[in-house]
């Protein structure tokens, strides 16, 4: 039973290779389309076993996330003097948390049409771009969710998500800073990896 979605997802991954020249909007649109298609096909399995969906979301999202840059932004000067390896560990644990929350939220959508990807607007540069999306809620109102991209080594990757104006990086940064100030980096990393640290992710 478990093998079928796994095989399916491997096939889907094979069919949609990551293209280096994709722009941020195409990345968001393509990733969302793929995810929703997959969820529509396997909704029952995912509802029964959320871990499967998390694996799926991780496989699809991780290539498009600049985890280390995100981690550096969140750590700021607290990252000073800590080995690169430990920082990468921290960045990975942090993105894992985001992926888990994202996967939980995804199941609540009934249709792809609830998410609208807007064309680029505003002050985007060649190095940084903000892709705006709108999520239609049951109440009829639309919640803005923005993905902030950064270009490094010729590839666009997400490093921040902004939900209704609330930045994941900025909010997490202050929490983390306070925790490191009181308990130190090692203790924090331990807690983060154990899944004891939580962050808000609005749906």
Note the residues at the interface with another protein (CB under 8 A): 69, 72-77, 79-80, 121-122, 128, 130, 132, 139-142, 144, 148, 160, 162, 164-167, 169-171, 173-176, 178-179, 181, 197-200
Choose between 43 and 187: whose C-beta lies nearer to another protein: 187
Choose between 25 and 52: whose C-beta lies nearer to another protein: 25
Buried b (16+ CB within 10 A) or exposed e, 93-130: bbbbbbbbbbbeebeebeeeeebebeeeeeeeeeeebb
Q: How far, CA to CA in Å, does 29 sit from each of 45, 47, 105, 178, 191?
A: 24, 24, 17, 36, 34
Dihedral sign, Cα of residue 61, residue 65, residue 68, residue 71: negative
Choose between 2 and 187: whose C-beta lies nearer to another protein: 187
Closest C-alpha among 152, 61, 49 to residue 98: 61
Q: How far is the CB of 34 from another protein (least distance, A)?
A: 27
Choose between 15 and 80: whose C-beta lies nearer to another protein: 80
Cα separation, 128 vs 151, whole angstroms = 6
Paired residues of 163 in beta bridges: 145, 166
Q: How far is the CB of 69 from another protein (least distance, A)?
A: 7
Q: How far is the CB of 26 from another protein (least distance, A)?
A: 21
In the block, which residue shows the tokens 């000067």?
A: 77
Choose between 51 and 170: whose C-beta lies nearer to another protein: 170
Q: How far is the CB of 172 from another protein (least distance, A)?
A: 9
Q: How far is the CB of 8 from another protein (least distance, A)?
A: 33
């Amino acid at each position: 039973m478990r093998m079928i979605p796994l095989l399916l997802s491997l096939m889907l991954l094979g069919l949609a290779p990551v293209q280096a020249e994709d722009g941020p909007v195409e990345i968001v649109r393509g990733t969302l389309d793929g995810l929703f298609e997959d969820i529509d096909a396997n909704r029952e399995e995912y509802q029964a076993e959320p871990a499967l969906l998390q694996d799926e979301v991780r496989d699809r999202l991780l290539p498009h996330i600049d985890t280390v840059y995100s981690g550096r932004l969140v750590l700021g000067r607290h990252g000073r003097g800590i080995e690169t390896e430990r920082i990468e560990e921290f960045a990975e644990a942090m993105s894992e948390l985001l992926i888990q929350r994202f996967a939980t939220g995804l199941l609540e959508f009934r249709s792809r049409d609830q998410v609208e990807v807007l064309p680029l607007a505003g002050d985007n540069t060649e190095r940084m771009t903000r892709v705006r999306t709108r999520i239609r809620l049951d109440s009829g109102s639309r919640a803005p969710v923005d993905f902030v991209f950064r270009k490094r080594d010729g590839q666009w990757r997400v490093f921040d998500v902004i939900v209704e104006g609330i930045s994941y990086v900025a909010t997490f940064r202050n929490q983390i800073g306070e925790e490191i100030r009181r308990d130190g980096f090692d203790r924090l990393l331990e807690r983060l990896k154990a899944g004891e640290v939580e962050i808000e992710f609005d749906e």
